[in-house]
């Protein structure tokens, strides 16, 4: 969970989304984990047989509030079976879409795009700066506590902080127990001003981490909310092909690359395409952003009927290749990235991709005459 928070933090998910640990004990060991697109009976059975302790899925297993938890209903029977087997289920959905190296970056790279940038960058108010004043000997402990809850991240860099030397003053109450000095006497002490970035959604946890790790009875903490978007986070991606490509040729190549059984083109794509936007899953709502970014074609999984008409009005094309196909591309890179992160951090869990998933939509093949 900590490694996932460092890569695809929960604050970067859409406000309506449900991400994070959805089933299981956050303190339980996870010696073996699988990444997968979504939970179904086949995946659950194979994972239980393989003694998988944790499933990391892209599609949340709990999205709408549950009114009943019954074994005779497949959608909740799977959750009961997982819980009874002490299997944890963790969801990374739109936060994995948004994160650098996530679904949309992988999709764009698979389709041969370069110079990828977010199509709809993350909101400006997603980051805060936390400042805490600490005695020099406590700085490392306080820093580590903050790093553990996701603070101190700057792009792909982790555990980033700044410390400046200064002098703090205080007058402890008569009945106080100050870490330095004596009750009832004004003190002047050397302190460090420790600063680091914190995702907005983790501020409460960061403050609690400071209170638990700081030696002072009343640590001084400031939180500044920044209007500074984190680099690389955002929905969708837009990039360029190495060389212009004909619309029909690009559509056929993209479908073959993703293993899509069908491809639907809408809108009004130009004959020669160079600038392309991609959105894994259901990305038709980002069509205006694609047009504003100068994309000549938006490639996504699925879109509404009127989105194709809107694309024609905006003067670009939209290519739908299947929700499953445009998101399943993340399953292997997800496992490989976590394996590298675990090795770098000295963790011993085995992370493997589950490649047995099947698109719930299947093309109808005409009968031979």
In terms of DSSP H, where are the helices of the chain?
2-7, 41-49, 74-84, 94-98, 103-110, 139-148, 203-213, 247-258, 287-292, 305-314, 323-327, 331-344
Q: Are 233 and 114 in contact (CB under 8 A)?
A: no
On the CB side of 113, CA atoms within 13 Å amount to: 30
CATH of domain 111-121+234-321: 3.40.1390.30
Q: Note the maximum CA span of the chain.
A: 98
- Topology agreement, domain 2-92+329-353 and domain 124-226: no
CA dist 256 and 100 (Å) reads: 25
Q: Which residue has the tokens 């790093």?
A: 147
Query: 3-state class of 69 per DSSP?
Result: coil
In this structure, whether the domain defined by 2-92+329-353 belongs to CATH 3.40.1390.30 is answered with yes
Please give the Cα distance from 55 to 32 (Å, whole number).
Answer: 9
Q: Looking at 135-271, list the stretches that DSSP marks H as alpha helix, in order from N- to C-terminal side.
A: 139-148, 203-213, 247-258
Give the chain's length: 369
Q: In the CATH hierarchy, which top-level class contains the domain 124-226?
A: alpha beta
Digit-by-digit pLDDT tens for the chain (369 residues) are 989 988 998 888 998 999 999 999 999 999 999 999 999 999 999 999 999 999 999 999 999 999 999 999 999 999 999 999 999 999 999 999 999 999 999 999 999 999 999 999 987 667 899 999 999 999 999 999 999 998 998 877 889 999 999 999 999 899 988 998 889 889 999 999 999 999 888 899 999 999 999 999 999 999 999 877 678 999 999 999 999 999 999 999 999 999 998 899 999 999 999 999 999 999 999 999 999 999 999 999 999 999 999 999 999 999 999 999 999 999 999 999 999 999 998 999 999 999 999 999 988 877 876
List the chain domain ranges: 2-92+329-353, 111-121+234-321, 124-226
């Amino acid at each position: 969970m900590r490694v996932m928070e460092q890569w695809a933090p929960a604050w970067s998910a859409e406000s309506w989304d449900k991400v994070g640990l959805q089933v299981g004990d956050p303190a339980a060991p996870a010696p073996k984990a699988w990444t997968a697109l979504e939970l179904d009976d086949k995946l659950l059975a194979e994972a239980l047989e393989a003694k998988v302790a944790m499933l990391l899925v892209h599609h949340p297993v709990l999205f709408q509030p549950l009114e009943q938890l019954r074994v005779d209903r497949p959608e909740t029977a799977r959750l009961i079976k997982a819980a009874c087997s002490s299997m944890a289920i963790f969801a990374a959905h739109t936060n994995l879409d948004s994160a650098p190296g996530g679904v949309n970056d992988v999709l764009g790279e698979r389709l041969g795009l370069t110079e990828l940038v977010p199509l709809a960058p993350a909101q400006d108010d997603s980051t805060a700066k936390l400042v805490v004043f600490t005695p020099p000997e406590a700085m490392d402990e306080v820093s580590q506590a903050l790093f553990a809850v996701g603070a101190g991240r700057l792009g792909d860099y982790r555990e980033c902080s700044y410390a400046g030397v200064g002098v703090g003053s205080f007058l402890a109450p008569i009945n106080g127990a100050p870490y330095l000095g004596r009750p009832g006497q004004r003190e002047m002490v050397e302190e460090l001003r420790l600063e680091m970035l914190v995702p907005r959604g983790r501020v409460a946890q960061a403050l609690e981490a400071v209170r638990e790790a700081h030696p002072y009875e009343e640590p001084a903490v400031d939180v500044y909310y920044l209007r500074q978007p984190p680099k690389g986070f955002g929905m969708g991606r837009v990039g360029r092909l190495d060389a212009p490509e004909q619309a029909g040729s690009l559509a056929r190549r993209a479908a073959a690359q993703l293993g899509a059984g069908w491809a639907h083109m809408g809108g009004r794509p130009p004959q020669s395409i160079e600038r392309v936007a991609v959105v894994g899953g259901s990305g038709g709502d980002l069509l205006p952003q694609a047009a504003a970014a100068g994309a000549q074609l938006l490639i996504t999984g699925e879109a509404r009927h009127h989105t194709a008409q809107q694309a024609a009005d905006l003067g670009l094309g939209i290519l739908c290749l299947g929700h499953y196909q445009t998101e399943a591309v993340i399953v292997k890179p997800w496992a490989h990235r976590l394996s590298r992160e675990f090795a770098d951090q000295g963790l011993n869990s085995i992370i493997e991709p589950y490649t047995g998933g099947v698109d719930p939509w299947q093309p109808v093949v005409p009968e031979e005459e």
